[in-house]
Amino acid sequence: MEILIVEDEPRVASLIKRGLEEQDFKVTLAFDGEMGKKLALSKTYDLIIMDIILPKINGLDLCKEIRAAHPHLPIIMLTALGTTDDKVDGFDAGADDYLVKPFELRELHVRIRALLKRNNNSLAKQSTLLKYADLELNNQTMTVTRSGTEIALTPKELKLLEYMMQNAERVLSRAEIADKVWNTHFDTGTNFIDVYINYLRKKIDRDYPNKLIHTKPGLGFIFKSE
């Protein structure tokens, strides 16, 4: 497995590189966003770890460009920016996971292996087209339509919708959504899951009489036709 690390602090980059190589990963370093983009778009990596505050191209813009070229490539944001808004920005840019500095290498290892395993399982089981009521999600083209009208979603909104459609008519707790979609434990001090549910509601439900996303007070959310 080969991992690209885009980190402008040489000490942090070297620490992560050494820790991952001890776990038998092959690691390539880039110290600015421009070099990270060049490497990510010219080679095939199994996973990318990047900071947000980077010289030349910031991590959010870099993540968007990589995500556009590689829709299923796992990306972890590793940054000192840790507010709910920061996390939402990172997920909107296309990140699969978000780890705040300072961090434990052991936790990073766990998240990397979970993401790699989940990505491999997802690709193996992925069906090209998901349908529910008048909503369709195409995994190959990364497009969503409802009643024939295309709906623009961010990468994380699309992943959230995909998971809800795959588990339609079943109550999903915030903890389960955090684990399965964000690959993280639900932090009751932040509300990013509710933020994304609201984003999704506005895009796929607001203009249609048949609502698909419903809140179950005290339990979570359910995707069903009503």
Q: Which of 8, 29, 9 is nearest to 18 (CA)?
A: 29
- The pLDDT value given to residue 20: 92
Flag whether pLDDT at 13 surpasses 80.
yes
Residues of the chain with CATH 3.40.50.2300: 2-124
- d(Cα 165, Cα 152) in Å, to the nearest integer? 17
Please give the class, per CATH, of domain 2-124: alpha beta
Encoded amino acid at 83, one letter: T
Flag whether pLDDT at 45 surpasses 60.
yes
Contact yes or no for 178/195 (Cβ under 8 A): no
- The pLDDT value given to residue 224: 93
Per-residue pLDDT tens digits for 102-155: 888 888 998 898 888 876 665 545 557 888 999 999 877 888 999 999 999 988
Which of these CATH numbers, 1.10.260.40, 2.30.110.10, 3.90.1150.10, 1.10.10.10, describes 127-223?
Answer: 1.10.10.10
Model-wide pTM > 0.85: no
User: What mean pLDDT comes out for the span 23-45?
Assistant: 92
- The pLDDT value given to residue 139: 79
Flag whether pLDDT at 94 surpasses 80.
yes
Flag whether pLDDT at 218 surpasses 60.
yes
**Neighbour count for residue 4 (Cβ, 10 Å):** 23
